[in-house]
């Protein structure tokens, strides 16, 4: 990473702020709000864990302390990613990646 003159930011992603409702993220010239309802991984995280964000490959956001990975496209175009998380704990948050099935298991009548 090279230093730029006159204090210009060289960071591609950084946390702008944390509120009672979510996290403000700046990435690639845009600001994004990550609500705790949609992104429950940040709800019980410490400030240090939230601020430790990495921007990789020009499109990948990673919080290594929380084991959370997001693509920038999912923040820009949430309509393309309809699966939403419904839980607030780490265990429930992990189930967000699995599509819920409406079919009941067992014998079909």
Any domain includes 46: yes
Could you tell me what percent of the chain has a pLDDT over 90? Answer: 40
- The 10s digit of each residue's pLDDT in 53-73 is 998 888 899 999 999 999 998
Query: Is 50 inside any structural domain?
Result: yes
How far is Cα 109 from Cα 36, in angstroms, rounded to an integer?
40
Query: Residue 42's domain spans which residues?
Result: 9-97
- Per-residue pLDDT band at 3 (split at 50, 70, 90): low
For residue 105, being part of any structural domain is answered with no
Q: Are 64 and 56 in contact (CB under 8 A)?
A: no
Q: For 21-54, write each residue's pLDDT tens digit.
A: 999 999 988 899 999 998 999 999 999 999 999 9
- Tally of domains within the chain: 1
């Amino acid at each position: 990473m090279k230093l730029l003159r006159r204090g210009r930011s060289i960071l591609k992603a950084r946390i702008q702020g944390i509120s009672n409702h979510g996290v403000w993220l700046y990435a690639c010239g845009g600001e994004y709000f990550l609500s705790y309802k949609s992104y429950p991984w940040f709800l019980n995280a410490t400030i240090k864990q939230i601020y430790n964000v990495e921007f990789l490959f020009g499109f990948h956001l990673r919080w290594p302390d929380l084991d959370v990975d997001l693509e920038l496209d999912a923040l820009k175009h949430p309509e393309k990613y309809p699966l939403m998380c419904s839980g607030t704990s780490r265990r429930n948050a992990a189930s967000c990646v699995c599509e819920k099935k409406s079919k009941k298991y067992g014998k079909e009548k």
